[in-house]
Amino acid sequence: MKDIGSLTLERDLKYAKKGIAYSLISGVTWGIDALLLGYVMTQYPFNDTKVDLIVAPLVGACIHTGLSSFLTILYNLFTGKIKEFARCLFSKMGIFIMISAICSGPLAMSGYLLGINMAGASYTAVITSTYPAIGAALAVIFLKEKLNKRTLMGILLCVVGAIGAGYASPTGTVHPDFYLGIIFAVVAALGWGLEGVFGAYAMDVVDPEIAISVRQTLSFVMYLIFVIPFIHGFDMLFEAFTAPSMLVFALAGIICSVSYVTWYFGLSMTGVGRAMALNITYSIWVIILDWMINGTMASPNLIIGCLVIVFGSILVSGNPKEMIKLREYKE
């Protein structure tokens, strides 16, 4: 018969392992979502060459967020948690989630797209891949998250692997606003890092399923008010709803909702640094799925990058016992 100590440890370990599983699921589903979005972006009306390059991705991001907001609300209705939505939104926690929504949605996503536009995709991808390291650093400073050397090394390897996997040689095209583009890419990485910290702080006292629902809804509203009118994107937005590609978009919305819910569970259960490092494994899943579905062969840097990410992830999630107590506050 087990003693109380081992039963307690067993219960806590089960909780920590669940957190790791959620974080990994968020990575896998994010990979599937990225593939679906990649396909949708080549379809009407997003393939319209007459509009500015930045319009289609931002309109796409707005619809994607809106669908996910709608689906998470439906999910919360189903689970009987919907009353928590208003409780969270109209409390001080709602402010933290609002900041989180600003950081991740319009700020990070717009920064990312502007970065690609002004500095090119390769530099932007490399800079924005550092968001787990930024998130981990911010979590250690502001949330007093405990991360030992092995975990920190794992996070670093995940970042290096993601940079390696996503890196493409610069094309040599001269970008007149190159340095501004680099600043936008840094803003995007900071935005995603900050999202995790503010989100995790709010989720200390709010259910993750509610936090993500509020976050997606606020993010969607901000896209509608502050982004879409300025890029004259309403025409494309309405056209997208009647286009056949909307069915694939709806599927992406479902996958994205699963990814976000599990991602927020991961942030809350394993801590910001670990959850982000496990989430970034999505680059592996994109490559594997792309190979399985489209037969796209991976380049050597992709394979090496993926192997580095796998090794990093093992270091990050290697010992669930360390996740029983995520933070160290002064008593």
Partner 1 sequence: MNLKLPMKFRILQLICERSIELKIINTFQIVKLINLEYGTERQCCDSTIGTHILALKAVGLIAEDHVYELENQLISEYKSTREGFNRMKLIPNTAESYNEWLPFKGRVSALINHSS
Contacting positions for partner 1 (CB under 8 A) = 4, 7-8, 11-12, 15-16, 79-81, 83-84, 86-88, 90-93, 144, 203-207, 210, 268-269, 323-331
Nearer to partner 1, 16 or 118 (CB): 16
Residue 108 or 139 having the CB closest to partner 1:
139
Two tokens, residue 50: 């007459």
Measured between alpha carbons, how far is 214 from 207 in angstroms, rounded to an integer? 11
- Least distance to partner 1, CB of residue 280, Å: 22
Rounded Cα distance, 154 and 186, in Å = 22
Q: Specify the DSSP element, H or E, that contains 46.
A: none
Distance between CA atoms of residues 275 and 327, nearest Å: 14
- Shortest Å distance, C-beta 18 to partner 1: 9
Q: What is the DSSP letter of 322?
A: G
- Nearest distance in Å: CB 99, partner 1: 14
For residue 327, the cross-strand partners are 145
Nearer to partner 1, 84 or 195 (CB): 84
Name all contacts of 67-71 with Cβ < 8 Å and 24+ positions apart: 67/249, 67/250, 67/252, 67/253, 67/256, 67/257, 68/216, 68/253, 68/256, 68/257, 68/260, 69/213, 69/216, 69/217, 69/219, 69/220, 70/253, 71/253, 71/254, 71/257
Taking the least distance from each CB to partner 1, the nearer of 15 and 311 is: 15
Nearer residue to partner 1 within complex by CB, 82 or 248 = 82
Please tell me the distance from the alpha carbon of residue 284 to that of residue 303, in angstroms, as a whole number. 9
Neighbours of 48 (CB within 10 A): 12
* Nearer to partner 1 (CB atom), residue 4 or residue 174: 4
Measure the CA dihedral 223/225/231/235, to 10°: 90
Distance CA 263, CA 22 (A): 7
Cβ of residue 265: shortest distance to partner 1, in angstroms?
10
Whether residue 45 has a cis bond before it, omega within 30° of 0: yes
Identity of the residue, 5 or 295, whose beta carbon is nearer to partner 1 in the bound complex: 5
- C-beta of 229 vs 318, nearer to partner 1: 318
Q: How far is the CB of 66 from partner 1 (least distance, A)?
A: 24
